[in-house]
């Protein structure tokens, strides 16, 4: 399955890109995170503490154990600071 | 009912308030709030990043939830992104209702949700370095009130 994966704020800076297409076998967000962590050290470091990260599937906030079925766009980012 | 804008350009707070308040015959109360980049002598610029697409969607969901909870005649949200300097207006909300209690509560609710449920991130460029603004536990706790 092909997914657009987006990164924001310090996560974007640590990984060094804002958006990439990822070919994945994962069925959940956590599975996708495991695959990304295994890629390169910058991903391992960026995803070292999931409690400090949030995830959105197709622009809706979800949990890390959410399924990926039918998803097109996954975004990872730190807790939001609007207002 | 909803006027929601996400923009890089500055907005004219006075003009927006007047426009929002104008032409309403069934409204008894308007509450407006404006957030400003707070300077402290060391802050040079603040950069606001957002997630185009999700931002508009999240703001609309927050506004819809406010309209479900209170009797409102209108909701306006303007939120900027990009580079801002101390003193500049970051965002505003406005609510209109028949009575002030609903307008105040809805504006308060919108602000609490905007803080931690709308995909914006702030980065501060300070005299002594650059850092991302961390979310506060108190911002998350504030949602428990509702």
Can you give the residue ranges of every domain in chain B?
A: 2-130
**What's residue B27's pLDDT?**
95
Q: Report CB contact under 8 Å: B133, A81.
A: yes
Spatial CA neighbour of B78 closest among B100, B63, B98: B63
CATH number, domain of A28, equals 3.10.20.30
Residue B46 is predicted with a pLDDT of: 98
Look at residue A39 in the predicted model and tell me its pLDDT. Answer: 94
CA A25 to chain B, closest CA, distance in angstroms equals 25
User: B90 contacts in A (CB within 8 Å)?
Assistant: 83
Q: Does A75 touch chain B (CB under 8 A)?
A: yes
Find, in chain A, the residue whose alpha carbon is nearest to that of B55: A59
In a domain, A83, yes or no: no
Chain B residues with CB under 8 Å of A75 CB are 51, 54, 119
Distance CA A64, CA A71 (A): 14
A57–chain B Cβ distance below 8 A for any pair: no
Contact A80/B at CB under 8 A = yes
Whether B132 contacts chain A with CB within 8 A: yes
Task: State the pLDDT at residue B128.
Answer: 95
Q: Where are the beta strands (DSSP E) in chain B?
A: 2-7, 29-36, 43-50, 72-80, 82-84, 89-97, 120-126, 129-132
A29 burial via Cβ count (<10 Å: 0-12, 13-18, 19+): buried
Please indicate whether, in this complex, the C-beta atoms of B111 and A59 are within 8 angstroms of each other.
no
Quote the domain boundaries for residue A63. Answer: 2-77
Q: How far apart are the first and last CA of chain B?
A: 22
**Cβ of residue A56 closer than 8 Å to a chain B Cβ:** yes
pLDDT tens-digit map of A32-82: 999 999 999 999 999 999 999 999 999 999 999 999 999 999 999 999 999
Which parts of chain B have pLDDT scores under 70? Answer: none
- Taking the CA of residue A39 and the nearest CA in chain B, the distance in Å comes to 25
Separation between Cα atoms, residue B93 and residue B106, nearest integer Å: 10
CA distances A50 to A11, A43, A54, A77, A79, Å, are 11, 12, 8, 10, 11
Give how many domains chain A has, as a whole number. Answer: 1
Q: Is residue A15 part of a domain?
A: yes
Instruction: For residue B84, give how far its alpha carbon lies from the nearest alpha carbon of chain A (Å).
Output: 13
Domain assignment present for residue A43? The answer is yes
Topology of domain B2-130, CATH: Aldehyde Oxidoreductase; domain 3 (3.90.1170)
Is there a contact between B47 and B122 (Cβ–Cβ < 8 Å)?
yes
């Amino acid at each position: 399955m092909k997914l657009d994966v987006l990164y924001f704020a310090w996560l974007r800076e640590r990984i060094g890109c804002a958006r990439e297409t990822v070919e994945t076998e994962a069925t959940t967000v956590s599975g996708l995170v495991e695959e990304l962590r295994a890629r390169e050290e910058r991903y391992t470091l960026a995803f070292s503490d999931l409690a400090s990260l949030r995830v959105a599937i197709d622009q809706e906030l979800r949990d890390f154990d959410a399924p990926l079925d039918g998803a097109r766009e996954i975004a990872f980012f730190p807790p939001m600071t609007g207002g | 009912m909803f006027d929601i804008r996400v923009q890089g350009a500055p907005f004219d707070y006075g003009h927006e308030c007047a426009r929002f308040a104008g032409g309403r015959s069934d409204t008894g109360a308007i509450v407006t709030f404006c957030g400003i980049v707070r300077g402290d002598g060391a802050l040079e610029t603040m950069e606001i990043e957002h997630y185009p697409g999700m931002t508009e969607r999240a703001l609309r969901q927050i506004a819809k939830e406010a309209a479900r909870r209170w009797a409102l005649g209108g909701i306006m949200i303007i939120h900027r992104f990009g580079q801002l300097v101390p003193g500049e207006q970051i965002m505003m909300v406005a609510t209109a209702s028949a009575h002030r209690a609903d307008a105040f509560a809805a504006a308060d609710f919108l602000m609490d949700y905007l803080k931690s449920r709308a995909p914006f991130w702030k980065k501060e460029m300070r005299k002594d370095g650059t850092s991302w603004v961390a979310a506060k536990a108190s911002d998350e706790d504030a949602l428990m009130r509702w």
